[in-house]
Amino acid sequence: MKMIVGLGNIGKKYECTRHNVGFMVVERFVEEHGGKFNKEKFDSLIAELFINGEKIIVIKPTTYMNESGRAVRPLMDYFNLTTEDIIICHDDMDLEIGHLRLRQKGSAGGHNGIKSIISHVGTEKFKRVRVGIDHPQKMSVVDWVLSRFTKEQEVKLDDGLTRAVAAIDDWIENDDFMNTMNRFN
C-alpha cells in the first residue's frame, strides 16, 4: 500500500493558486485513474484506488497548508504506513514553473507544509515531488503563493502536472524511487 499526499489549501478562494499545485497533482492523478475524492477522515479528503493490484491512498489535507502534518501522521498510523510508503506533492518557488524535482529526503526549505509534516512524522526522510511555481519578482512571498497563474504560465504548469503524474505512476509501477528520480529529474 502507498499513500500520495497533495499539499494545498482547501476552499474556493485558494483553487488554482500556486500554493495548491500539490492538490492539482493529486487531483489529476486520481482523475486519470478513474477515482474520486469521496471519503473524509483525519482532516483529509481521501480517494482510494487500486493500481496493479496495490491499494493507493490519495489525500488532500483539509487542515490548510501550515498544518498538513496534522492530517498525514494519523493517516499513516491508521493505514499502518511508514515514510517509505508515502510521497508528498507540493509547490516549489525555487524551480521554474512546471519544472519537477524529485527528492527522497531533505529539509523543509522554508515550505511550511513540509515543515509541519517533518514535525509530525519525526523525520525528513520521505519522498517528494516538487513542482516549480517560480519565485516572486516584485511581490511578497505570501501574495505570490496565493496568486493565480497567467494563461502563459498555465501551459507550462500543465506540462509539469502531466510529468508529475507520470513520475508517481512510475514509482508505483516499479517501486524504485531512485530510478524514478533518474528518469524525471
Active site residues: 19
Helix or strand run (H / E) with residue 35? none
Q: How far, in Å, CA of 96 to CA of 151, rounded?
A: 15
Residues in the chain, how many?
185
User: What region does 122 belong to: left with phi over 0, alpha with psi -120 to 50, or beta?
Assistant: left
Cβ pair 100, 130 in contact under 8 A: yes
Any bridge partners for residue 130, and if so which?
90, 101
Q: Is residue 56 classed as helix, strand or coil in its secondary structure? A: strand
Residue 52 DSSP code: T
Cβ pair 47, 36 in contact under 8 A: yes
Residue 53 burial (C-beta neighbours within 10 Å; 0-12, 13-18, 19+): exposed
Q: Using the structure block, give the residue that is written with the C-alpha cell 502536472.
A: 161
